[in-house]
Amino acid sequence: MKLEGKVALITGAGSGLGRQSSQLFSSEGARIAVVDIDGDRAEQTAKLVEQQGGEAIAITADVAQKSQIVSAVDETVKHFGKLDIAWANAGIVSRGGVPTVAGGESVLFEDLTEDDWQHVLGINLSGVIYTAQAAVPALKANGGGTILATSSAASLVAYHDIALYSATKAGVNGFVRGLSLDLGPYGIRVNALAPTHGMSPNFLMPAGSPVVGQSYEEVSGPWDPFVSPIPLKLNRPPSLVDNAKVALFLASDDSAYITGATIGSTDGGTLSRVGMWFAEDLDQKNPNA
């Protein structure tokens, strides 16, 4: 197993990618500290891990509050005796969201408030920095380990109405690059994954909504790869597991010599496009038809 004997702390693990990855990491031998601002969701994830034969603890913490994530790391080390993997996965979309996806209303950039900015900044970027800071002493004491962050395709290309979110995720990429140099001498790798597709609708749903457990593409109806804008045509939609497997790669010794990298996960060729459409894009034919 890829994570045999490892201890992994995952923030934002009460739903979506964090929950799916908690289960996957556990199946690969890791013991899991499930951290989420929603304590009930954290408990539910921990129970799912235990039901599949794994070991997990649930910790309620707001990653935007440094003292809370420091306490979460301390509790993890106290319970499991060490820390090998710290994954800063918690994130929120900026106010206005992605209305073309969620069916919501746009918010003009100039109408966003200081509180809007501080809220998304606190969780998406400060939360990543605080999680890394809290984890470093334990990782150094352990003789090395992995810091992982969840970035986004929005850090690499433009999406409508989420400029604040994009700014925080681009900050994650720069932070990962810089911190990898500082922590390399201690045997600590620092990387990020940038999901494009295969993410949970919970990301755009109000707090406390039922956990969906599937990707946008899986819940949107029958899958037709030749209707999907994803250039890579496969006979199934992208899933949370597809992103979780990239995280597993970055957390495991399979990526022992990768650090300072942001990897586009479940991209399917989307980020390979240039900023214009070609006739071939607009009139794709199913080669199997």
Catalytic residues: 165
Q: What is the DSSP letter of 275?
A: S
| Euclidean distance between CA atoms 15 and 45, whole angstroms | 8
CA atoms within 13 A on the CB side of 278: 5
Query: How far is it, in rounded angstroms, from Cα 45 to Cα 215?
Result: 17
Burial of residue 286, with CB atoms counted within 10 A of its CB: 0-12 exposed, 13-18 middle, 19 or more buried: exposed
Residue from 182, 78, 68 nearest 136 by CA? 182
Rg (CA), the chain: 19
What the block records as the tokens of 17 is 């990618």
What type of residue sits at position 66? K
φ and ψ of 219, to 5 deg: -95, -5
